[in-house]
Amino acid sequence: MADALGRFDPKSTYDEAARDYEDASREFWQYICLRVLERLEPVASERVLDVPCGSGPSVVAAAGHVSPSGSVVGIDFAEQMVAIAREKAESAGLTNVTLSVDDMTTLDRSRFEPFDVVVCSLGLFFADDMPELLRTLSGLLRPGGRLGVAVFGEHVFDPLRQVFVESVAEVAPGVEILQPWRRTEDVDVFRSLFEAAGVTEVAIATEDDRLPLRSSDDWWRIVMGSGFRRTVAALDEPAVAEVRKRCDAYIAGHRIEAVVNRAHYAVARVPA
């Protein structure tokens, strides 16, 4: 499903959602960012690039792995996301972190010293030309460097994702429900993007996680902190209330106590 990104605007969506994103991500998808980093095994003295860095969980974690002599660069298109990441870095007293607002699809290797590790967690599917982004990121690595990429798989906040999508379609049939993360949900499509980018040494693992849902409020935290916020913003207030009512009824009627996420984790190496 690797079609064009279309009308989804990551910058405006996640600038508006930044605080809600931070709130929901801690319980429902931040772990994916940290697992990518774990697979890359950064060590002291290495240089790490995290893009898009979002609200910075893996920036902070990476800084701990490579300190005191290593460094971490975090880049994100959404200014409010970078602001939260900067708050975290300053609160942790990190001196080996640099954060900036930039477009990951236009990064020029001449601006940077080569990196040992590049992390791209839950961001690949926001690029119009995904193979080109992979070429760009791998080109920022030194020989022997590692690139880690994570994307959602076929199951994302199941079963409630489909409940939300169907509810919006019934309540407001004229509203387009954009789900850019579905562009890379098929592992064969995901793998083919590396092949198209000329990145041949890649290993991909898939993991499913069951995440506790304490109440229907948790589901709405996910909606408003994720890309679904863009869909909610396109609805009028009565429609939003009806969609939420239907989701709440499904959760209560089916006694939903958890959502399931599937994620694909890729680790690629640049030949030494």
pLDDT in tens, 221-257: 999 999 999 999 999 999 999 999 999 999 999 999 9
Asked whether residue 225 is domain-assigned, the answer is no
Give Cα 204 to chain centroid, integer Å.
17
Asked whether residue 148 is domain-assigned, the answer is yes
- pTM of the complete model beyond 0.85: yes
Mean pLDDT check: name the lowest of 2-16, 43-57, 100-114, 209-223: 2-16
Asked whether residue 41 is domain-assigned, the answer is yes
The pLDDT tens digits of the residues spanning 13-50 come to: 888 878 999 999 999 999 999 999 999 999 999 999 99
Asked whether residue 242 is domain-assigned, the answer is no
Residue 4 pLDDT more than 70? no
**Percent of the chain's residues with pLDDT above 70:** 97
Asked whether residue 15 is domain-assigned, the answer is yes
> pLDDT class for 1, splitting at 50, 70, 90?
very low
**What's the half-sphere exposure (Cβ side, CA atoms, 13 Å) at 71?**
10
Structure tokens at 48: 């790490």
Closest among 119, 96, 113, 121 to 40, alpha carbons compared: 119
**What's the half-sphere exposure (Cβ side, CA atoms, 13 Å) at 172?**
20
> pLDDT class for 70, splitting at 50, 70, 90?
very high
CB–CB of 141/116 below 8 Å? yes
DSSP 79-106: HHHHHHHHHHHHHTT-SSEEEEE--GGG
Asked whether residue 221 is domain-assigned, the answer is no
The pLDDT tens digits of the residues spanning 109-144 come to: 899 999 999 999 999 999 999 999 999 999 999 999
For residue 113, the enclosing domain spans 10-154+180-212+262-269
> How many independent structural domains does the chain possess?
1
CB–CB of 263/207 below 8 Å? yes
The pLDDT tens digits of the residues spanning 165-199 come to: 999 999 999 999 999 999 999 999 999 999 999 99
Asked whether residue 26 is domain-assigned, the answer is yes
25: domain CATH number? 3.40.50.150
Strand, helix or coil at 195?
helix
Asked whether residue 238 is domain-assigned, the answer is no
At what angle are helices 57-66 and 79-91 packed, to 10 degrees? Answer: 40
